[in-house]
């Protein structure tokens, strides 16, 4: 980080120094000045390039608290141990940008952190490099990777690393005396008036709508598999549509909740945990009908840093790396052997396990994401969702 | 022209009191519109000095507590590597595109101002079209085309794209300046033996220079504010200031954006004053 | 202004007469003018017009399916479109699907077929995934076993349609139309129609913004045009500052002002106009789009109006009034008609710019303030339905080009001024 800061100053000051007198001098004779300015700028650029000359890996992740947790949890250690510089970019999920890069043949993302349904779908489409389970490190207790990682978490293009949940959460300071206790309360505008935050995506929202409409946990995907079920989900969403504020980045819902932009929102549980312990926000998670998801890292086909990218994926999949992420954000490791390494929050000393989405007290009413259904129907649902949204 | 004979037939008396009221209402309305135009821009200037990460005036700020005001967001953007890289990119792309657009646009304006130019109207229409085409369409088309040429996600690609979008500004301003240019000056110079190039360099260019510079500033400002093409065609290496602001506004909106915005407002005012100064010079 | 050939000829003679060599033989002025314009024409042609043309081609031309499944499509041509095709078709498809999976082009084919009939993506990918374990025919049985879609007539029709290299399908889609199995053109099912609605909304919003800009811009332009020079300059600056300020900055300003916890809502709550829980939703909806667009486009209305108005001598209206006309009459009959060119120029310009607006609705429009441009961006960046994006772009382009030609007829492009 210190290196980055120093470089920032080195960069910024000459930049401004060139610009301001440049503009002042613009007045008399721009024609004579332009080439000079261009040369000055060109001279500026290589100093950025020189710093990036060591091998750089572009990791595309979810930004905010999660990216910071990964950075502190294992990325900094990876950089120290390998000398490879990892540059973290933010995105909000989905395959579109990767498909565009692969289709056009100009791949500039190396490793991407993504949700399991997208991992499977992208793998089918040939967007990712296959990674064999035998290449992966054994667990903390020596169990081979194939047995250590939950069976759902192995795809042809790599393992998943973490479990996380999309939960309903409210701001205790603003909700009033009655407190929401179930997923149905999220859709209850009469008892809990005010705006709701939801992710701008059909994933999780369709499930929430059906559960709130009375569909039991184990029938949610069977219902969604029918046209009538999909319509039912959209109808339920219709009932609160004009009270929904849509979010795209995981960092937004805690902010919206803190600002009072919404009284209740769906959010990733780890982001809420961070707001609770680091910012003392009075947020309360409703552990009912939350969608339990898993995700991992994939290497984009056509990357210019294949070996480094694979090494990074293997590194991130070690039990230690997973557990270390769990010291900064409440996401559970996908390796059984890493579960025992979970202890307290690195900065505040809070016991982590009660906040984990897989802990016994939280997982009881969880809906497990059916990745197969989403990888088959995701495209179609996205299209219907965007049509529904724009009406 | 409307004839006034029709109005003379009607005779009405106007009460001065009513007149005064309407006059006040009119001025009041105009004042509101001016406030609508300028207040949103002014309001973010003080907010950028907010010590808290909020987008609204805190009580401390209203009480003018020194603690409630701070330069933290300015420090943050100064120290952030991403913003400085974005500034370097914006300058590189903006300046290069401006040079290209200014040279090509000035030449074309010289040709277009010549009454002998064949198909003048059609050519003008074609050359101005990048300015009126919705930028989303230009960006989409450029994305496909430049990708096929391997120019997507390169600085060169963005420079070419921005130059194309900037040329209409140069063509328009230089053509406007040339409308006031007295062709006899060129003839006089030529009759004294100056070649066409000398005539251009020594006689024509100094006179139309204000228009050329204005056009260049317009082109630069257009590039400096362009986000859609960068969004479609730029990679991580080509992030510009507007691109950086775009993700800031859409994702993690922090008051640092306001600090950047204040910088951009200062730029805008500088651009504006320069162009107006040149215009006035040209008018003289 | 016209150049006199005699003078030119004379000049050339004088030039050579004094013994100074001319740098080049005298060019025909037509050629000379054209040569000056040529570099920019070529540049704009390559960097701007060619990409547009390329995009339009893309809206009707897509060879991916045809190139990946040539044999299957060739054999399907013999099929009459009723019942199921013959075993040879299944055999060819099985072979080509496996090859496509090997080449990693299957995803692209599956996506395209899925756009003709949704649901077929998984049929193709799953079939290709499982076919590796099938060694021999009959292929029809094996494939129908893997996915029931292969036993349906519609699947094969969809495949055949997706195999067309040239197709008007994307334009039909962009107008909420589709081709029914019998070949006739009909509307899409109710819950899938969206684009006509969005086009209509875009037109309405553009029209609304134009009218609003005219209503509030006209008095202001008139005030500036007839103010004493010093004050006029000052007032003009108030219009020009927003004009020059970055679009993103202005949009940010509106977010800061209008959002739930923003300056305006805070002020209303402080003044007691609304309660703390009754904060107004002024952004991330149509209101946000409308207000921000009006703000951004207002200078484009005021400036042309101003330039027309400042050429109207003030004595005219005074003369009318001294002759007995009411202020209203003198305005309506004397002043207004003379400003019509400015009104036309301003309205057309604002409308042209509004109809293609993207950034402002994307940032402050929420879900209800989205316009057609945002849908183009969605298909460019999220759904990656590039052909549909191109078709929507083509439709928008035709609208804008029409208005542009109209502008040229009524106002004249060469009279366009900046700032």
ipTM: 0.89
Are B97 and B44 members of one domain? no
Q: Tell me the chain C residues in contact with residue A259 when contact means C-beta distances shorter than 8 Å.
A: 260-261
Please enumerate in sequence order all residues whose Cβ is within 8 A of that of A196, keeping only pairs 6 or more positions apart, or say none.
A186, A240, A243, A244, A245, A262, A263, A264, A265, A266
Query: Are β-strands A196-199 and A244-247 bridged in parallel, bridged antiparallel, or unpaired?
Result: parallel
pLDDT band at C325 (very low <50, low <70, confident <90, very high): confident
Chain C partners of B193 at a C-beta cutoff of 8 Å? 14-15, 18, 20
Min Cα separation B127/chain C (Å): 7
Identify the three-state secondary structure at position A304. Answer: coil
B66 and B94 housed in the same domain: no
B77 within a domain of the structure (yes/no):
no
* Domain co-membership, B95 together with B37: no
CA-based nearest distance C286→chain B, Å: 17
Average pLDDT on C26-45 reads: 91
What mean pLDDT comes out for the span C319-330?
Answer: 84
Residue A209 has pLDDT above 70, yes or no: yes
* Closest to C219 (Cα-Cα) out of B30, B24, B38: B30
Q: What would the mean pLDDT of A283-308 be, rounded to a whole number?
A: 95
Residue pair C355/C293 in contact by the 8 Å Cβ criterion: no
- Rounded-to-integer distance, Cα C159 and Cα C121, Å: 11
CB contact under 8 A, C34 and B190: no
Highest mean pLDDT out of B63-72, C167-176, C318-327: C167-176
d(CA A246, CA A265): 9
Q: Mutate one of B3, B6, B7 to test the C interface: name it (highest C CB count within 10 A).
A: B7
Does some domain include residue B176? yes
A8 and B84 in contact by Cβ < 8 A? yes
Residue B198's pLDDT band, with cuts at 50, 70 and 90, is: confident
pLDDT of residue B251: 67
Asked whether residue A46 carries a pLDDT value surpassing 80, the answer given is no
Q: CB distance C43–B163 less than 8 Å?
A: yes
Instruction: Assess whether pLDDT exceeds 50 at residue B24.
Output: yes
Q: Specify whether the CB–CB gap between B82 and A88 falls below 8 A.
A: no
CB C90 within 8 A of CB C82: no
Q: Is a pLDDT exceeding 80 seen at residue B9?
A: no
Report residue C326 CA to chain centroid gap.
Answer: 46
What's the pLDDT score for residue B185? 85
Q: Which of A11, A18, A108 sits opposite B153 (nearest CB)?
A: A108
User: Residue C13: is its pLDDT beyond 50?
Assistant: no
Longest dimension (CA), chain C: 101
pLDDT at C419: 56
Contact C192 A259 (CB under 8 A): no
Q: Which of A247-251, C46-50, C207-211 has the lowest mean pLDDT?
A: A247-251
Q: What is the pLDDT of residue C62?
A: 92
* Range of weakest confidence among A102-106, A293-297, C135-139: A102-106
User: Which residue, C335, C340, C338, is CA-closest to C325?
Assistant: C335
List the one residue out of A61, A301, A295, A321 whose CA is nearest residue A163: A295
Rounded CA-CA distance C200/C399 in Å is: 12
Residue C373 has a pLDDT of 95
pLDDT over 60 (residue C25): no
Three-state DSSP class for residue B167: helix
C46: β partners: none
Peptide bond into B229 cis (omega under 30): no
Minimal C-alpha gap between B8 and chain C (Å): 6
Cβ A105 vs Cβ A261: under 8 Å: no
Could you tell me if B97 and B66 lie in one domain? no
CA nearest B277 in A: which residue? A27
Sort residue C3 into left (φ over 0), alpha (ψ -120 to 50) or beta.
Answer: beta
Question: Which domain CATH number covers B173?
Answer: 1.10.3720.10
Band of pLDDT at residue B82, cut at 50, 70 and 90? confident
Determine what percent of chain C is predicted with pLDDT higher than 70: 93
**Among A4, A5, A6, A8, which would you mutate to test the B interface (most chain B Cβ atoms within 10 Å of its Cβ)?**
A8
Distance from C-alpha of A166 to C-alpha of A208, rounded to nearest angstrom: 10
Residue A391's pLDDT band (cuts 50, 70, 90): confident
Distance CA C156, CA C170 (A): 19
Has residue B17 been placed in a domain? Answer: no
Domain edges within chain A: 2-51, 56-161+294-348, 164-293+367-390
Q: Which helix (H) or strand (E) holds A115?
A: strand A111-115
pLDDT tens per residue across span B134-177:
999 999 999 989 988 888 888 999 999 999 999 999 999 999 88
pLDDT at residue A44 greater than cutoff 80? no
* Same domain flag for B29 and B103: no
pLDDT digits (tens, 9 = 90+) for C85-129: 999 999 999 999 999 888 778 888 988 998 888 778 888 988 887
Note whether residue B8 is domain-resident. no
Domains A56-161+294-348 and A164-293+367-390 share a fold: yes
Q: How far is A15 from chain B (nearest CA, A)?
A: 7
Query: Average pLDDT in the C304-329 region?
Result: 86
CATH number assigned to the domain covering A56-161+294-348? 3.40.190.10
Q: Tell me, yes or no, whether B39 and B135 share the same domain.
A: no
**What band does B253 get if pLDDT is binned at 50, 70 and 90?**
low
**Contacts with A188 (C-beta within 8 Å, 6 or more apart), sequence order:** A180
Between C280 and B109, name the one with better pLDDT: B109
Does residue B18 form part of some domain?
Answer: no
Contact B81 A11 (CB under 8 A): yes
Spatial separation of the C-alpha atoms in residues A310 and A300, rounded to whole Å: 10
Whether residue A16 is predicted with pLDDT greater than 50 in this model: the reply is no
B153 vs A26: CB contact, 8 Å cut-off? no
Closest-CA residue to C224 (of B30, B28, B275) = B30
Chain centroid offset of residue C155 CA: 34
What's phi and psi for A335, nearest 5 deg? -95, 135
- Chain-chain contact of A15 with B147 (C-beta, under 8 angstroms): no
- Answer CATH for A164-293+367-390 from 3.50.50.60, 3.90.1170.40, 3.40.190.10, 3.40.50.10800: 3.40.190.10
> Any idea which of A237-251, B93-107, C304-318, C404-418 has the lowest mean pLDDT?
C404-418
Contacts of B91 in chain A (CB under 8 A): 15, 18-19, 37, 41, 44
Is the pLDDT confidence value at A323 over 60? Answer: yes
H/E run at residue C345: helix C336-355
Q: Picking from B107-111, C160-164, C181-185, C271-275, which range would have the lowest pLDDT averaged per residue?
A: C181-185
Given a cut of 80, whether residue A155 has pLDDT beyond it is: yes
C28 or B163, which is more confident? B163
- Cβ-Cβ pairs closer than 8 A, A with C, add up to 79
Distance between the two ends of chain A, CA-based, in angstroms?
46
DSSP state of C61: B
C405 pLDDT above the threshold of 90: yes
Residue-wise pLDDT for C341-395, tens only, equals 899 999 999 999 999 999 999 998 887 888 999 999 999 888 888 899 999 999 9
Chain A residue whose CA is closest to C116: A380
Give me the number of domains chain B comprises: 2
User: What span, in angstroms and rounded, lies between the C-alpha atoms of A49 and A35?
Assistant: 22
Residues 6+ apart with CB under 8 A from C29: B114, B116, C3, C8
Q: What's the confidence (pLDDT) of residue A194?
A: 87
Q: Quick one: pLDDT at residue A160?
A: 95
Closest to C122 (Cβ–Cβ): which among A97, A194, A376?
A376
Residue B50's domain comprises 24-54+61-70
Average pLDDT over residues B184-213: 87
Using alpha carbons, select from C217, C209, C143, C195 the residue that is nearest to residue C370. Answer: C195
Select from B123, B273, B277 the least CA-distant residue to B211.
B277
**Cβ atoms within 10 Å of B137's Cβ, excluding its own:** 26
pLDDT at residue C133, as a whole number = 82
Examine the pLDDT at B10 and tell me if it is beyond 50: no
Looking at the complex, report in whole angstroms how far the Cα of residue A231 sits from the nearest Cα belonging to chain C.
10
Q: Which residue has the higher pLDDT, A212 or C416?
A: A212
**Is A11 within 8 Å of B84 when comparing Cβ atoms?**
yes
Distance to chain A for B132, nearest Cα, Å = 26
Mean pLDDT for all residues in chain B: 87
Same domain, B164 and B249: yes
Query: CA-to-CA distance for A115 and B238, rounded, in angstroms?
Result: 27
Question: Does residue C21 have a pLDDT over 60?
Answer: no
Q: Please state whether the predicted TM-score (pTM) of the whole model is above 0.90.
A: no
Nearest CA in chain B to A2: B79
R_g over Cα of chain A = 23
Same-domain status, B28 and B124: no
∠ Cα C248 C286 A185 (to 5°)? 110
Q: Do B33 and C217 touch (CB under 8 A)?
A: yes
Q: How many CA atoms lie within 13 A of A51 on its CB side?
A: 16
CA distance B111 to B93: 27
């Amino acid at each position: 980080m210190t290196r980055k800061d120093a470089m920032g100053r080195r960069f910024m000051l000459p930049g401004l120094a060139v610009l301001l007198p440049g503009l002042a001098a613009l007045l008399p004779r721009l024609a004579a000045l332009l080439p000079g300015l261009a040369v000055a700028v060109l001279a500026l650029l290589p100093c950025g390039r020189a710093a990036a000359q060591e091998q750089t890996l572009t990791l595309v992740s979810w930004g905010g608290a999660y990216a910071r947790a990964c950075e502190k949890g294992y990325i900094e250690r990876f950089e120290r141990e390998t000398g490879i510089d990892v540059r973290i970019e933010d995105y909000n999920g989905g395959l579109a940008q990767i498909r565009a890069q692969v289709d056009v043949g100009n791949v500039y993302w190396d490793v991407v952190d993504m949700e399991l349904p997208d991992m499977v779908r992208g793998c089918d489409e040939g967007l990712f490099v296959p990674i064999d389970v035998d290449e992966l490190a054994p667990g903390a207790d020596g169990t081979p990777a194939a047995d250590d990682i939950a069976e759902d978490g192995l795809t042809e293009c790599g393992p998943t690393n973490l479990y996380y949940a999309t939960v309903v959460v409210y701001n205790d300071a603003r909700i009033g005396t009655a407190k929401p206790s179930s997923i149905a309360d999220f859709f209850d505008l009469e008892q809990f008036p005010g705006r709701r935050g939801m992710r701008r995506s059909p994933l999780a929202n369709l499930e929430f709508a059906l559960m709130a409409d009375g569909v039991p946990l184990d029938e949610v995907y069977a219902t969604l598999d029918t046209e009538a079920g999909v319509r039912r989900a959209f109808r339920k969403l219709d009932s609160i549509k004009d009270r929904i504020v849509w979010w795209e980045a995981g960092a937004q819902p805690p902010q919206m909740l803190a600002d009072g932009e919404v009284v209740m929102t769906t959010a990733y549980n780890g982001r809420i945990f961070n707001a609770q312990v680091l910012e003392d926000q009075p947020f309360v998670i409703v552990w009912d009908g939350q969608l339990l998801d898993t995700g991992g890292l994939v290497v984009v086909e056509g990357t210019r840093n294949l070996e480094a990218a694979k090494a990074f994926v293997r590194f991130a999949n070690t039990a230690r790396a997973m557990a270390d992420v769990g010291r900064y954000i409440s996401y559970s490791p996908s390796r059984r052997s890493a579960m025992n390494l979970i202890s307290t929050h690195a900065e505040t000393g809070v016991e982590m396990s009660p906040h984990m989405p897989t802990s016994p007290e939280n997982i009881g009413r969880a809906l497990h994401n059916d990745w197969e259904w989403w990888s088959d129907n995701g495209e179609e649902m996205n299209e219907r969702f965007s049509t529904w949204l724009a009406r | 022209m409307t004839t006034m004979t029709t109005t003379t037939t009607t005779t009405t008396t106007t009460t001065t009191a009513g007149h005064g009221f309407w006059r006040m209402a009119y001025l009041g309305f105009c004042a509101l519109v001016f406030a609508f135009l300028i207040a949103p821009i002014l309001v973010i200037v003080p907010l950028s000095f907010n010590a808290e990460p909020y987008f609204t005036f805190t009580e401390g700020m209203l009480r003018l507590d020194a603690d409630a005001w701070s330069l933290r967001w300015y420090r943050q953007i100064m120290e952030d590597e991403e913003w400085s890289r974005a500034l370097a990119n914006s300058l590189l792309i903006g300046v290069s595109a401006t040079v290209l657009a200014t040279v090509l646009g000035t030449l074309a304006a010289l040709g277009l101002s010549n009454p002998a130019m064949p198909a003048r109207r059609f050519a003008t229409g074609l050359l101005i079209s990048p300015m009126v085409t919705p930028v989303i369409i230009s960006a989409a088309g450029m994305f496909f085309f430049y990708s096929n040429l391997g120019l997507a996600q390169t600085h060169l690609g963005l420079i070419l794209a921005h130059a194309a979008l900037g040329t209409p500004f140069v063509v328009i301003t230089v053509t406007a300046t040339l409308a006031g240019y007295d062709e006899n000056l060129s003839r006089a110079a030529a009759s004294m033996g100056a070649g066409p190039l000398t005539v251009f360099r020594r006689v024509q260019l100094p006179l139309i220079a204000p228009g050329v510079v204005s056009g260049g500033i317009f082109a630069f400002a257009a590039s400096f504010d362009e986000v859609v093409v960068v969004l479609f065609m730029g990679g991580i290496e080509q992030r510009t200031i507007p691109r950086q602001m775009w993700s800031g506004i859409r994702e993690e909106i922090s008051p640092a954006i306001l600090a950047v915005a204040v910088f951009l407002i200062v730029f805008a005012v500088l651009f504006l004053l320069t162009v107006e100064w040149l215009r006035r010079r040209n008018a003289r | 202004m016209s150049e006199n050939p005699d003078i030119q000829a004379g000049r050339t003679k004088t030039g050579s007469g004094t013994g100074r060599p001319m740098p080049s033989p005298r060019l025909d002025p037509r050629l000379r003018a054209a040569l000056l314009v040529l570099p920019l024409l070529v540049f704009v042609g390559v960097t701007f017009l060619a990409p547009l043309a390329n995009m339009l081609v893309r809206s009707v031309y897509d060879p991916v399916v045809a190139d990946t499944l040539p044999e299957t499509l060739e054999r399907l041509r013999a099929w009459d479109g009723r019942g199921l095709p013959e075993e040879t078709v299944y055999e060819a498809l099985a072979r080509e699907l496996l090859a496509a999976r090997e080449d990693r082009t299957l995803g692209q084919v599956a996506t395209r077929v899925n756009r003709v009939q949704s649901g077929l993506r998984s049929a193709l990918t799953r079939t290709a995934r499982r076919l590796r374990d099938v060694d021999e025919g009959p292929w029809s049985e094996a494939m129908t076993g893997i996915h029931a879609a292969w036993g349906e007539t519609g699947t094969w029709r969809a495949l055949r349609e997706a195999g067309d290299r040239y197709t008007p399908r994307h334009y039909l889609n962009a107008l909420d139309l589709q081709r029914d199995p019998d070949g006739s053109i009909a509307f899409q099912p109710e819950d899938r129609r969206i684009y006509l609605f969005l086009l209509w909304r875009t037109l309405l919003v553009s029209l609304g913004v134009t009218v609003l800009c005219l209503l509030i811009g006209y008095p202001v332009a008139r005030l500036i045009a007839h103010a004493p020079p010093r004050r006029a300059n000052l007032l003009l600056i108030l219009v020009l500052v927003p004009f020059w300020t970055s679009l993103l900055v202005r949009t940010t300003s509106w977010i800061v002002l209008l959002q739930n916890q923003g300056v305006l809502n805070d002020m209303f709550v402080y003044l007691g106009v609304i309660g703390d829980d009754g904060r107004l939703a002024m952004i991330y909806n149509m209101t946000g789009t409308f207000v921000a667009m009006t703000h951004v486009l207002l200078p484009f209305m005021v400036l042309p109006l101003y330039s027309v108005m400042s050429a109207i001598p003030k004595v005219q209206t005074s003369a009318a009034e001294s002759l007995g006309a009411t202020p209203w009459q003198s305005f309506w009959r004397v002043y207004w008609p003379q400003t019509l060119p400015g009104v036309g120029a301003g309205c057309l310009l604002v409308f042209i710019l509004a109809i293609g607006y993207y950034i402002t609705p994307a940032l402050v429009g929420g879900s209800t303030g989205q316009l057609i441009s945002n849908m183009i961006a969605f298909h460019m960046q999220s759904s990656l339905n590039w052909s549909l994006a191109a078709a929507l772009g083509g439709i928008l382009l035709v609208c804008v080009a029409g208005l542009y030609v109209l502008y040229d007829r009524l106002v004249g492009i060469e009279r366009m001024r900046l700032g």
